[in-house]
Amino acid sequence: MIKTEKIVKKYGKIEVLKSIDIDLGEGQVAGLMGPNGSGKSTLLKSVLGLVIPDSGNIFVNGVSIKNKFDYRKFIGYMPQIANYPENLKVRELFKIVKDIRSDKSKYDYELFENFGLGEIENKYFGQLSGGYKQRVTASIAFLFEPEILILDEPTSSLDPVSTEILKDKIIKSGSEGRLVVICSHLVSEINEMADRLIYLIDGKILFNDRIKNLINGSGETLGKSIKKIIQNKIGSDEHKNS
């Protein structure tokens, strides 16, 4: 559903993405991790068409996205920070996004209902707490039953109950055959929801594998497995350069 071929992105002399290749299909829940500045946000924004790579190609459902925007109808996007107009009421916001997607007549209100957003639909978006803004943003991402979901730190600002509601929805979406890509700093979340982990360091993919292969029956936590892989990789690279 999402395939990238040798994606390169530079800002001046700084190479943020260095020949990135990924191939993700339906029914996968893929975690995207890495330290700050590793290129995670740039990669996601490149897939969304918000950043234009300097070279390489990106395919969504087998079609190159170069000079195209219609493919975005297949994607539900949840940014890390909600940035909707603060002078709109919640119900007005949902009406506007539905009017924009006039090609859709069926909506997924499961998160809207489970988050209890009907109780605050007459409040202005700017009046909402960070947690409620996050609930609204998540509900909009899932509203049009997209084939692909890109979620950037989806549980930040959410209370424990709302976090579990969203986690259940993400796992359910993967089981229904959708592709879900989750960018998160929380190893426990990725371990709980994802079946694959892509780890970026310094604009390169350090590893891209199924989580069960990373743990490999060792009995270790995913966090400890990641630490060991990183240490082994860094040690190997230092040995090569010595």
Q: Where are the domains of the chain?
A: 2-241
The class that CATH gives domain 2-241 is alpha beta
pLDDT at 49: 94
Looking at residue 83, its pLDDT comes to: 85
Cα distance between residue 134 and residue 154, in whole Å:
8
What pLDDT is recorded for position 180? 98
Query: Which residues, including other chains, have CB under 8 Å from residue 138's CB and lie 6 or more apart?
Result: 78, 111, 115, 151, 154, 166, 169
What value, to the nearest 5°, has the Cα angle with vertex 148 and ends 9 and 208?
A: 55
Q: Could you tell me if 104 and 147 are in contact, meaning their C-beta atoms sit under 8 angstroms apart? A: no
Query: What per-residue confidence (pLDDT) applies to 238?
Result: 55
Look at residue 235 in the predicted model and tell me its pLDDT: 66
Buried b / exposed e along 62-95 (16+ C-beta atoms within 10 A): eeebeeeeebbebbbbbbbebebeeeeebeebbe
**Do 86 and 125 form a contact (C-beta atoms < 8 A)?**
yes
Q: What pLDDT shows up at residue 240?
A: 61
Residues of the chain with pLDDT under 50: 239, 242
